[in-house]
Amino acid sequence: MSSAFGTARRAFASPARHPRTAVVLGRLLALGFLVCMLTGLYSHFIQDPLPGMVFPTRPAWLYRVSQGVHVAVGTALIPVLLAKLWTVQPLLFQWPPVRTLRGLLERGSIALLVAASLVELAIGLANTFQWYPWPFRFRETHFALAWTIIGALAVHIGVKLPVIVRWWRRRGSVDAEGRLLPVGPGEGELSRPERTRARGLTGALQRRIDAAPQPPEVLSRRTLLVATGAAAAAVTATTVGQSLPPLAPLNAFAPRALRYGPQGLPVNRTAAEAGVVRLARDAGWTLTVAGPDRFAAFPLDALRALPQTEVELPIACVEGWSTNARWKGVRVRDLMAVVGAEGREVVVRSFAKGAYSTTLLPPEFALDPLTLVALELNGEALHVDHGAPARLIAPARPGVLQTKWLRALEAR
Alpha carbon distance 256, 240 (integer Å): 10
Q: Are 265 and 323 in contact (CB under 8 A)?
A: yes
From the list ligand MTE, Mo ion, none, pick the one residue 325 interacts with, judged by a Cβ distance below 5 to 8 Å according to partner type. none
Amino acid at the residue 130: Q
Alpha carbon distance 410, 289 (integer Å): 6
Q: Does 373 bind ligand MTE (CB under 6 A)?
A: no
Q: Does 63 bind ligand MTE (CB under 6 A)?
A: no
Q: Does 403 bind ligand MTE (CB under 6 A)?
A: yes
Query: Residue 268 Cβ, how far from ligand MTE at the closest point, in Å?
Result: 4
Return the sign of the alpha-carbon dihedral for residues 353, 355, 361, 365. Answer: negative
* Residue 71 or 400 having the CB closest to Mo ion: 400
Percent helix, strand and coil across the chain, each to the nearest 5:
50, 15, 35
* Residue 23 or 406 having the CB closest to ligand MTE: 406
Which distant-in-sequence residues (6+ apart) come within 8 Å of 141 by Cβ? Answer: 123
Alpha carbon distance 93, 8 (integer Å): 7
Considering only 18, 256, 333, 386, the residue that binds ligand MTE (CB under 6 A) is 386
Counting residues that bind ligand MTE (by CB under 6 A) gives 21
* Residue 221 or 391 having the CB closest to ligand MTE: 391
Q: Candidates 153-161, 195-203, 260-268, 283-291 — which segment interacts with ligand MTE by CB under 6 A?
A: 260-268
40-48's contacts with Cβ under 8 Å and 24+ in sequence apart are 40/70, 40/142, 40/143, 40/146, 42/66, 43/67, 43/70, 43/318, 43/398, 44/139, 44/143, 46/397, 46/398, 46/401, 47/139, 47/318, 47/398, 47/400, 47/401
Query: Residue 315 Cβ, how far from ligand MTE at the closest point, in Å?
Result: 4
Ranked by CB distance to ligand MTE, the top (closest) residue is 399
Considering only 19, 74, 395, 399, the residue that binds Mo ion (CB under 5 A) is 399
Alpha carbon distance 280, 74 (integer Å): 37
Mark residues 151-190: x for contact with Mo ion by CB under 5 A, - for none. Answer: ----------------------------------------
> CB neighbours (10 Å) of residue 296?
15
Considering only 184, 241, 389, 399, the residue that binds ligand MTE (CB under 6 A) is 399
Mark residues 226-265: x for contact with Mo ion by CB under 5 A, - for none. Answer: ----------------------------------------
From the list Mo ion, ligand MTE, none, pick the one residue 67 interacts with, judged by a Cβ distance below 5 to 8 Å according to partner type. none
* Residue 19 or 399 having the CB closest to Mo ion: 399
DSSP symbols for 310-325: EEEEEEE-TTS-EEEE
Mark residues 344-363: x for contact with ligand MTE by CB under 6 A, - for none. Answer: ------x-x-x-xx------
Mark residues 307-326: x for contact with ligand MTE by CB under 6 A, - for none. Answer: --------x-x---------
Alpha carbon distance 247, 258 (integer Å): 10
From the list Mo ion, ligand MTE, none, pick the one residue 354 interacts with, judged by a Cβ distance below 5 to 8 Å according to partner type. ligand MTE
Alpha carbon distance 207, 234 (integer Å): 44
Query: Residue 133 Cβ, how far from ligand MTE at the closest point, in Å?
Result: 19
Alpha carbon distance 40, 43 (integer Å): 5
From the list ligand MTE, Mo ion, none, pick the one residue 269 interacts with, judged by a Cβ distance below 5 to 8 Å according to partner type. ligand MTE
* Residue 107 or 269 having the CB closest to Mo ion: 269
> CB neighbours (10 Å) of residue 381?
15
Check residue 391 and report its DSSP letter: E
Considering only 62, 121, 181, 317, the residue that binds Mo ion (CB under 5 A) is 317
Amino acid at the residue 81: L
Considering only 127, 268, 329, 411, the residue that binds ligand MTE (CB under 6 A) is 268
By the criterion CB under 6 A, which residues form the site for ligand MTE? 265-269, 274, 315, 317, 350, 352, 354, 356-357, 386-387, 399-400, 402-405
By the criterion CB under 5 A, which residues form the site for Mo ion? 268, 317, 399-400
